Amino acid sequence: MNYGLIVVNVLIFLLTYWPHETSAGYETILRPWALQFQLIPARPYIWQFVSYAFLHGGFMHIFFNMFFLYLFGNNVNDKLGNIGYLCFYLAGAVFSGIGHTVIHFSSSIPTLGASGAVAAVTGAYLVLFPQTLITVFYFFFFIGMIEVPALYFIVLKMIIIDNVITRYTSQVAYDAHLAGYAYGIAAMLGMLGTRLISSSNFDLWAMIRQWNRRRQFRDVVSSGYDPYTGRTGNKQIKVKEVKSPAEQQKDEKSKELRSEISKRITERNLPAAAGLYLELMSHDSNQILAKQHLLDIANQLAGDNKPAESAQAYEQFLSRYGNYEYAEQVELMLGILYCRYLNKPTLAIKYLEAAAKKLTDPGQLKMCQDELDRLK
């Protein structure tokens, strides 16, 4: 669809562009029959809010519009589909035309060009692919190329510099551009937020949600919650609070052990990570690792034939991450450890019964039921 729009724009340009002087002595760039399709803010007709976007005032005008439509449109087309992209493009032309008309409602100067619709597509690209690197060719005192994230390139160069700072330097419909950008950004954020289109971990909506999670985390921590120990205090920790040398030494040791555990897990050296975890627990049993790290270590301890230590790790995991989507498998593992290796039938029955209510795998469910039958 994006290629189709480019072809249609070029064909209409070739059919309508005709620089000439009228009989009244005025210079115009369109053939007489095409003049009615320009958008005139003082007296607009409904069809002009679409038709003006397919007219252009010169070869450089259409070249740059089609270049940026090609640059940003293909990926947006892929995301929205052909029909969705066509509707979005036409709506971008309409909204940018409305924005220009509202601000210049008394002007009789005709407006034409796909810039507003292209701005809407560019705004959509900013939301969908903000972290994509764009290679920019530049020449100032020297010539070179630089890669810039789309978020910064579009916001700083195309919106602020091209449409805010330099808006009084030429006869360009800057307000139509800004209205197009605003529509493209708002519409795409709305579609992502309402899940009309699927989000990814790299779009602007995901970046906003990540920022919000970090903000919430900072608020929780500032209220006294310690994410490493899971303890919550009524007193907010202040920067000027002084700890004893022994407490400082203990904190430094815990931090060092946690760092080493993460390093070993990253290296997939789980036996070493499990050994460091046991050292951390003997140093400070209130320390809690990240969810996947703690689960990996618990599994490693079970595989190393250390039932008591692995049961402790699984218990700690369930107490901190009880909403884990596969918690029933952890409960099954705890039930087996307490039944077969640690001789604690009461705890074994507790975890096996909890697991039996949620297990869906037939093999695991049969194993769980067999253990319960044996205990009872």
Which has the minimum average pLDDT: 77-81, 178-182, 231-235, 257-261? 231-235
CA triple 143-164-177, angle to 5 deg:
95
Enter the DSSP assignment of 324: -
Tell me the per-residue pLDDT of 202-222, one tens digit each, with 9 for 90 and over: 899 888 888 888 888 787 777
Q: In this structure, are residues 111 and 100 in contact, taking their beta carbons and an 8 Å threshold? A: yes
Mean pLDDT, rounded, of the chain: 89
Q: In this structure, are residues 357 and 335 in contact, taking their beta carbons and an 8 Å threshold? A: no
**CA dist list (Å): 282 to 276, 278, 338:** 10, 6, 22
Whole-angstrom Cα distance, residue 130 to residue 204? 6
What domains, with CATH codes, occur in the chain? 2-207 (1.20.1540.10)
pLDDT band at 262 (very low <50, low <70, confident <90, very high): confident
Whole-angstrom Cα distance, residue 26 to residue 55? 19
**β-sheet bridge partners, residue 135:** 147
Q: Report the candidate in 99, 102, 96, 142 with the shortest Cα–Cα distance to residue 115.
A: 96
Whole-angstrom Cα distance, residue 375 to residue 67? 74
Tell me the per-residue pLDDT of 159-195, one tens digit each, with 9 for 90 and over: 999 888 887 766 788 999 999 999 999 999 999 999 8
pLDDT at position 142 over 60: yes
The predicted model scores a pTM of: 0.60
pLDDT at position 321? 87
Whole-angstrom Cα distance, residue 267 to residue 223? 35
**β-sheet bridge partners, residue 39:** 111
pLDDT at position 219? 77
pLDDT at position 353 over 80: yes
Q: In this structure, are residues 205 and 151 in contact, taking their beta carbons and an 8 Å threshold? A: no
Q: How many whole angstroms from its chain centre is CA 63?
A: 32
Whole-angstrom Cα distance, residue 323 to residue 256? 29
Over residues 39-46, the mean pLDDT reads 94
Over residues 93-99, the mean pLDDT reads 96
